[in-house]
Amino acid sequence: MNRFYLLILLIVGCSTQEEKSEYEKLLDYEGTYEYVNQNTLDIVASEPDTTLYAVIDKAKYPLNHIALDSFTNIQDIPVVFKRDKSNKVISYRTSGQSFALITTDFEKMEMFPRKELFYNADNYRYEKPKETSDGLKTGLIEEEFKNPEPIINMVKETIKGEFPDVHSILIYKNNKLVLEEYFYGYDENTPHQLRSATKPFIGGILGIAIDKGFIKSEKEKLLPYFKSKYDKIANLDERKKELTIENFLMYRHGMDCENNNPASKGNEQSMMQSKDWVKYTLDLPMVTKPGEKSSYCTGCPLTLGSLVEIATNDQIETFAKENLFEPMGISNYDWTFEPNQASMNTFSQMSISPRDLIKLAKLFKDGGIWNGKQILSKEWVDKTFQMQDGDYGYLWEHKYFVIDGKQYNSYLASGNGGQKINIWPELNMITVFTGGNYNSYELYGKSTPPNEMIPNYVLKSIK
């Protein structure tokens, strides 16, 4: 009789295990774990897409399930979890190192765009953005767009998860904020990582330093400013001696530096392995004359940020606070500019709320004026936006879309993960997207969602 009951229990137990969903199986791995450099990361199971994610500093990276307790990370490196005798996960191993589970009691990142509407997105109802004391006027989308339906559909598609990890969508049209939508637990009070979208604003801060006389002109030679900081610059030839500040502002540096080229000595990943990212950049060999052609290089804005500190004899964060952020009423942000290995996880990036991104973009759109006050000279803004199709200005990029034979032009601040701040001068419009599609180019061989959402929804509403 006992054997019979034992057999029944075994059958029921196996059946219960088999009935666990794929999502429920992933819950076994959730928790806060040790990570490199005495940091931690969270492992979180996502119900909407049945995927396990490693979450580092609010950025999530998918783990691809291979078999049993084995996964691969975004670099296709194995990540293998280990269980104890009671079958509970206790650690993971990757790249020859083991990292222990610290706790399963942690604040789990929101994995639904909007959980209450995920399965019935058609119940979404547009609402006019709230007018606050931040200086932005708000308006109704139907009053500023001839056909707002594509934009409304874009929001619904985002709620459904069709545009994953888009964290916010804001549209400012005809000097009114007409759309403000947040997803995945983000809201108007959440400063968002900018990644490389920080760079154009460093250009603006440099412009203020020039406006105030700390630097005579962007036409000045670059290297003399760094004599006091670095005793010797490597690969110093006649071409490098001719480098100007403007060459770095326009990414026309002539150095062996191209972010998306693994063979380039100055690509971002190689730079980040060095102790001093500015010194590493200035030491790079020259391959062409400065000013001949543009090549996107992270070391350029980092060097210019360091230049501001040398010229003003102040930290760039302090200079920016006093001369840009405070005059614009921007206080809800975070920025530590430290171009070295201390920033391996933070990338010396700004984190700013999306509404404040609208304000910063409006500053440039309006010729450097905010609330009637000239924060940045119109001359600098005009120089910033003197760029050819698809090229760079003063750390901004010219981005355009062609729809039905018509070209729509914008000035773009762009960052890894889907950070897109576009100024559309001909449309009197600013669009802001923030997101968490980090390393999407490398992972999926495709661009981030805003590159599809802008032409297929926003610009189609213009017509």
Residue 423 in tokens: 């100024």
Mean pLDDT of 244-260: 97
Q: What is the pLDDT of residue 463?
A: 67
Structural domain ending residue among the three candidates 66, 86, 103: 103
Phi/psi of residue 330, each to 5°?
-100, 115
Q: Number of structural domains, the chain?
A: 2
86, 211: one domain: no
**Ordered DSSP codes for 175-208:** TEEEEEEE-TT--TT--EE-GGGGHHHHHHHHHH
Task: Assign 440 a pLDDT band (cuts: 50, 70, 90).
Answer: low
Q: Give the position of tokens 């670095």.
A: 230
Do residues 462 and 146 touch, judged by C-beta distance below 8 A? Answer: yes
Residue 54, domain CATH: 2.40.128.50
Q: What is the pLDDT of residue 439?
A: 80
State the average pLDDT for the chain.
94
The alpha carbons of the chain give a radius of gyration, in whole angstroms, of 25
- Residue 140 inside a domain? The answer is no
**Rounded Cα gap, residues 376 and 369, in angstroms:** 7
Would you call 31 exposed, middle or buried from its count of C-beta atoms within 10 A (0-12, 13-18, 19+)? buried
Do residues 394 and 376 touch, judged by C-beta distance below 8 A? Answer: no
User: Positive or negative, the Cα torsion across 283, 286, 289, 290?
Assistant: negative
53, 197: one domain: no
93, 223: one domain: no
SS3 37: helix
Residue 64 in tokens: 């691809």
Position 15 pLDDT exceeds 60: no
SS3 278: helix
Position 64 pLDDT exceeds 70: yes
Mean pLDDT of 57-86: 95
Q: Residues 6 or more apart from 268 whose CB is under 8 A from it?
A: 259, 298
Q: Give the position of tokens 């993960």.
A: 417
Position 11 pLDDT exceeds 70: no
Would you tell me how many other CB atoms lie within 10 Å of the CB of residue 14?
A: 10
**Rounded Cα gap, residues 266 and 284, in angstroms:** 7
Q: What is the pLDDT of residue 2?
A: 53
Q: Give the position of tokens 């209450």.
A: 116
Structural domain ending residue among the three candidates 81, 103, 125: 103
Mean pLDDT of 57-62: 91
Mean pLDDT of 389-402: 96
Q: What is the pLDDT of residues 159-174, one digit of tens each?
A: 999 999 999 999 999 9
Q: What is the pLDDT of residue 441?
A: 54
221 secondary structure, DSSP code = B
73, 203: one domain: no
Least confident interval from 2-11, 17-26, 180-189, 278-287: 2-11
- Residue 215 inside a domain? The answer is yes
Mean pLDDT of 28-44: 96
Position 353 pLDDT exceeds 50: yes
Domain that holds residue 230: 192-462
94, 213: one domain: no
Task: Assign 53 a pLDDT band (cuts: 50, 70, 90).
Answer: very high
91, 219: one domain: no
Do residues 417 and 438 touch, judged by C-beta distance below 8 A? Answer: yes
Kindly provide the residue ranges of all beta strands, DSSP E only, lying in 253-356, ordered along the sequence: 333-335, 350-352
Q: Give the position of tokens 């139907």.
A: 142
- Residue 139 inside a domain? The answer is no
Q: Where are the alpha helices (DSSP H) in 198-249?
A: 199-211, 238-241, 245-249
- Residue 173 inside a domain? The answer is no
- Residue 134 inside a domain? The answer is no
Structural domain ending residue among the three candidates 56, 78, 103: 103
Output the CA–CA distances (angstroms, integers) from residue 36 to 98, 119, 348, in the order listed: 10, 38, 19
Least confident interval from 9-23, 78-92, 219-233, 235-249: 9-23
Output the CA–CA distances (angstroms, integers) from residue 196 to 162, 270, 320, 346, 370, in the order listed: 25, 16, 17, 11, 24
